[in-house]
Structure formats: structure tokens, C-alpha cells
Amino acid sequence: MKKNTYYFSHDYNSRNDTKILFLRMQLGMEGYGIYWYLIESLAESGGTLPLQLIPVLAMQMHTTEAKVNAVVNVFGLFEITDEQFFSLRLNDHLEKVNQIKLSASQRGKLSAEKRKSTKIQLPVEHAVEQPVEQRKEKERKVNKTIITNSFSEDFLKDWNTWIDYKKTNHKFTYKTIESEQIAFNHLYKLSNENQITAREIINVSIANGYKGLFELKTNQNAKPTNQQLMHDYANRWANGMPDLDENYQLIQR
């Protein structure tokens, strides 16, 4: 696991500090290096180190114990108490860093709580209820189990076209799967159990704007039935052509 890297501010002119100048005058750049090595070691340990560790530090720096003791005790660069030594300036910096980390942690927790609160669902009494018609339509689609009899499953596409047409043009939806099955069976009989004829019946009804399904005319010269004439007249009336023809008079007889 990668070790965390810490840093602290380093005054770019620290070499000209009075105490550092005396250090450099006595021990040269070696003394200056010992000082910064001790600062880094203190930062890694949390701000303090025991005096008895000086021989180990000297060994790590490949220098003498006397020189390390001199840097710690002679030039006033470190404070000594309870057999520990530390740097006031370094500890001030470490305290600021800890405060920044604590503040960032608190902000992170607050942000997490805020995000969590936005995901809380509304109480049941405030939940938006789905409109009845939408629920019924959804249930109809989910529970759709129309028996196609001898027709192929592909015919359901034509049947669904009829269902959509009824809903869009005549605002009608079968209330139950049973009532829809009855309508399908009616088409099945009208077509004499012929899938191609059934498809044509649907197409004719849609093309003429019929509300229902009717048996196809087999003789073009035969007169239409009263039911067909009623639907034809209703369509003509809707299209602004309410004039009566001789076929319509058949309804009155």
C-alpha cells in the first residue's frame, strides 16, 4: 500500500534566519542538512521525538551523534521538554493541517447526508397515484393472453393495430381481457376462421372509420346491409356530406 506523503511549508529564505546562520557558521551545510532531516523526521512522527533517539538519527544520516546533539540543543532551533524535542513552527503547521483535514471531513459528511436525504421517498399520502385509465391500460398489456385460435401469433400485430385504432379514434378500450377475447372470437367467426380475411376486415373497418368489425362484402352488386348503411351514413355525416341516397332509404323500409 502506498505510504501517504506529507509536506510542510518551507520558507525559501530560511537559510538566512539568524539561528540558521549561526548553525551554518559552526557546522556548515552539513549542519543545515541535519536540521532539515530532523524537521522531516519530526513531521513524520507527529511533531515530537525522544532525545534518546538521537544516536539512531545520527546513524541514519551517517554523521556523528555530537553534531546531531549540537543542532538539537545549541542553536535554539528546537524546544526540549520531558526528554522530548520538537519545533514550535512545525507543530503550528501540523495543527493547521489537522484542522483543514477535520473541516474537509465534516464537509464530506454533511454532503453525504444531504445526498442521502434527497433520495428519501415521499410519504404514501403524498405519492402521485397513477390515473385509472393508465393503470387499466397497463394491466391490459401485462395480462394480455388473447387466444388466437388457429391464427398465428403474428396476427396479434393486426389485432393490436385494431385496438390502438379503437382507442385513438373512438376513445374505446376493452375493460377486461375477457371482453377483448369475445371481440376477437367475433372477428374469427366473421372471417370464417381465415387469417387473411380477418386482416382485411380490420383494414376495411379502419379505412372507413367504423367502430366495429363487419363481414366483408362478397358481391359488389349486392346491396349493403342496414348496419353497414348506418355506419356509412354516420361517416358521411361526419365528413359534411349528409345527403341521403337510395341505399339509405332501405333503412326506412
Of residues 9 and 38, more confidently modeled: 38
pLDDT confidence band for 200 (50 / 70 / 90): very high
Compute how many other C-beta atoms are within 10 angstroms of the C-beta atom of residue 20. Answer: 18
Q: Is the pLDDT of residue 72 over 90?
A: yes
Choose the weakest-confidence range: 57-66, 94-103, 133-142, 172-181: 133-142
Contact (CB, 8 A) for 150 and 193:
yes
pLDDT at 207 over 60: yes
pLDDT at residue number 100: 84
- Give the best-scoring range by mean pLDDT among 18-22, 98-102, 124-128: 18-22
Residue with cell 326506412: 252
Least confident of 13-17, 164-168, 179-183, 209-213: 13-17
Which range, 93-97, 130-134, 206-210, 216-220, has the best average confidence (pLDDT)?
Answer: 206-210
Determine the 3-state secondary structure of 194 from DSSP: coil
Nearest to 165 by CA among 99, 106, 211: 211
Q: Considering only CA atoms, which of 95, 225, 210, 206 is closest in space to residue 160?
A: 206
Quickly state the pLDDT bin for 223 (edges 50, 70, 90): low
CA count, 13 A, side-chain hemisphere, 17: 14
pLDDT at 189 over 80: yes
What value does the mean pLDDT of the chain take?
A: 79
Q: How far is CA 248 from CA 118, 168, 231, 234, 251, in A?
A: 67, 28, 11, 11, 6
Helices 65-73 and 18-45, packing angle to 10 deg: 100
Q: How far, in whole angstroms, is CA 242 from its chain's centroid?
A: 57
What separation in angstroms does the CA of 79 have from each of 23, 38, 72, 83? Answer: 16, 13, 8, 10
Q: Cell numbers for 213, please give them.
A: 368489425
| Distance of alpha carbon 91 from alpha carbon 88, whole angstroms | 5
pLDDT, tens digit, for every residue of 27-53?
999 999 999 999 999 988 888 999 999
| pLDDT tens-digit map of 76-109 | 999 999 899 999 888 888 888 778 877 777 777 7
Q: What is the pLDDT of residue 252?
A: 47
Q: Are 55 and 65 in contact (CB under 8 A)?
A: yes
pLDDT class for 143, splitting at 50, 70, 90? Answer: very low
Q: What is the mean pLDDT of residues 237-252?
A: 52
- Say if CB 151 and CB 195 are below 8 A apart: yes
What residue segments make up the domains of the chain, in order of their start?
Answer: 1-120, 132-216
